[in-house]
Amino acid sequence: MSVDESFNAILRGFGFSIEDIHPRVIVGIELNLEAVFILKTSSEIPEWIDYQHLLTVDWRAENAQGRETVSQAFGRAVAQFGEALIMGSSVRTGLNIAIFPDSIRPGSIFRVIHGDELPT
């Protein structure tokens, strides 16, 4: 099996296809954060947050018309007070984490594992 075939098999095993993968670098991170906003189940989400809208808004279309989406404004607000936001994925089962490096507090840890080996 070629490298490409192996990679495609791995992607399929996790529910992805090659079309889902844009150029990116995958890294491991070590996190120990003090201020994280977590939205992961409907029972934990305050009623004033329209969670479905946050997950399904077409942010590309909104941005193309010069508008900031509610989800982007929400992320910006969380970044002012917290170090990270954890939310469900709108596409697949699982969670996404948005880390706000400029908001990392002195007692927190945010470290890219083997960061010195990443391409520059």
| 99 in any annotated domain | yes
Q: What is the pTM of this model?
A: 0.60
Q: What is the DSSP letter of 113?
A: T
DSSP state of 21: P
DSSP 23-71: S-----EEEE-S-EEEE-SGGGS-TTS-HHHHHH--HHHHHHTT---HH
Domain contains 4: no
Largest CA distance in the chain: 51
pLDDT one-digit tens code per residue, 8-49: 777 777 787 777 776 666 778 888 999 988 876 666 777 777
Number of separate domains in the chain: 1
In a domain? residue 77: yes
Residue 91: inside a domain, yes or no? yes
Per-residue pLDDT, 95: 79
Q: Which domain holds residue 65?
A: 24-117
**β 84-88/95-99 pair status:** antiparallel
Domain contains 61: yes
pLDDT at 32: 92
Residue 10 in domain? no
Instruction: For residue 51, tell me if it sits in a domain.
Output: yes
Summarised one tens digit per residue, pLDDT across range 44-98 is 777 777 777 777 888 888 889 999 988 888 888 888 989 998 877 766 677 788 8
